[in-house]
Structure 1
């Protein structure tokens, strides 16, 4: 879990660095295409069965849009205008939104009193992190925060879609398939909006792409499924709480970012809400 939190936490820094040279859609195209190629290699090397029916590939395409295209794009766009650590804090709201989406979609995921209390506490934390001044008007910074929260909501919807439509697939195959679907969407989109997909010139941009595509996407998915298998979904949720401290620290050390005290207080309240939701008994 610590390794996974470190990989994902550092990915926020890598994205921020790459945004210095690459437009958003081109960045996301690099992320999903390289990761898809790596996971195709893994699936073929392991001899895992690749889906052959159109219905499954349609579901994987939808998953790629919900879990990759929409959140990667919204969060990368938002990160141009807000700090790395703050992006990771709003990303942590995925767990809260996931509970709400699951309660709305699945009969066995009802919103108990404990879960509702955790959701309300967590949303209070998000509101504190956004700040009262941001709630009073819409500027680029406010829109960026809303964009990142929109990405978190897309992740939550993707989790429900995966449970409903992709439960019959091996997790590694599902990850490969959704990234393939995401690539089929992002490449034409990046070409249409940004022009020919640019190859970076700066070595640090290449290093950033290598990190968020290879480690932060392809490797991280494989590692995440390993954590799920060993620790269970409840403990795996704790990774969500470990990511922001990594991202905040790296943003401070490498980029000199400083978060407002309200953002740190908001994350602490959000963390309490997540722990209340996940408490057994």
Structure 2
């Protein structure tokens, strides 16, 4: 269903802020990876974000779930929405540009439509969705590069790892709708991050050694940003914008994240992306706008009879 909700000025401002915050996360993760491994970077992200969100839950005095099945759902959600995609994308960023990672990350909306159509009877693929998904896949293929699709080297595998992360996000959306729809968003986010921290902290410890705070100031600032601001804070902001703007309009944040990440990557890390990456993002963006229905609404308005 097309979200017709009008976006207020405040919602636009917070939507833009969310795009800026998430766009900056790709740079901060890449900076942290200069000193810590990808598993450890994710362990830091989930652990500190979890603590902040539980503090928010305590301040708001929200009731905690008592059903063991809900806590199991948190664990699965933490695996699908944090542990797996964060790890896949962090590892991918070791071998591809942060800007390109953000472009491939934008395909989350495309895979989300497919996952919803598979698991929910009321989310069937319409002609509009089929066109949007098709353009999105074309954009992903162009961003990866046709030559990289033929030559399976480390760079290609890194790009596929990022795509696998977006598929995890899509499946997480299905799981959340089925299992966590009755939970307050703050509790759901804190529970989810608890599940992911329970997975990532021991895994990182075994694979990369104990977590340490004896890190360079640059690394500590990067971890603080992507854990506290771009994870805990962004989740809270996400749900605020969702309430004000609706889920369809919230899809626009994906179009804001990639340009921010690209600019920061070029400015701070001196990254240079090929023309195929920009062309791929353009097709991805067009596909998402068609999925959202915004383009079709504009065309209908333009074609409607004008008063004489």
Alignment counterpart, residue 213 of structure 1, candidates 215, 227, 232: 227
CA distance in 2, matches of 1:11, 1:277: 26
Q: Look up the SS of the partner of 2:34 in the other structure.
A: coil
Q: Look up the SS of the partner of 1:201 in the other structure.
A: coil
Alignment counterpart, residue 269 of structure 1, candidates 283, 286, 296: 283
State the partner residue of 1:189. Answer: 203
**Unmatched runs of 5 consecutive residues or more in structure 1:** none
Larger radius of gyration: 2
State the partner residue of 1:115. Answer: 129
Alignment counterpart, residue 81 of structure 1, candidates 88, 92, 95: 95
Is 1:279 aligned to residue 293 of structure 2? yes
State the partner residue of 2:17. Answer: 3
| Deviates further, 242-251 or 130-139 | 130-139
Q: Deviations over 1:60-92 (max 9, x none)?
A: 100000000000000000000000100000100
Q: Look up the SS of the partner of 2:65 in the other structure.
A: coil
1:250-261 to structure 2, matched below 5 A, reads 250-261=264-275
**Unmatched runs of 5 consecutive residues or more in structure 2:** 1-14, 298-308
State the partner residue of 2:115. Answer: 101
Does the 8 Å contact 1:50/1:173 carry over to 2? yes
CA distance in 1, matches of 2:245, 2:185: 16
State the partner residue of 2:73. Answer: 59
State the partner residue of 1:173. Answer: 187
1:130-209 to structure 2, matched below 5 A, reads 130-209=144-223
CA distance in 1, matches of 2:199, 2:141: 33
Displacement after TM superposition at 1:198 (Å):
2.5
| Moved beyond 3 Å, runs of 4+ | none
TM-score calculated relative to the size of structure 2: 0.90
CA distance in 1, matches of 2:204, 2:216: 20
Displacement after TM superposition at 1:201 (Å):
2.0
Give aligned pairs, total: 281
State the partner residue of 1:68. Answer: 82
* Distance change (3 Å), C-alpha of 1:231 and 1:205: same
TM-score calculated relative to the size of structure 1: 0.99
Q: Deviations over 1:201-242 (max 9, x none)?
A: 211100000100000100000000001000000110000010
Q: Deviations over 1:126-156 (max 9, x none)?
A: 1000001101111110000000000000000
Q: Deviations over 1:88-112 (max 9, x none)?
A: 0010000000000000000000000
* Distance change (3 Å), C-alpha of 1:7 and 1:200: farther
CA distance in 2, matches of 1:198, 1:44: 27
CA distance in 2, matches of 1:80, 1:278: 33
Q: Deviations over 1:249-268 (max 9, x none)?
A: 00001000010011001100
State the partner residue of 2:243. Answer: 229
Displacement after TM superposition at 1:199 (Å):
2.2
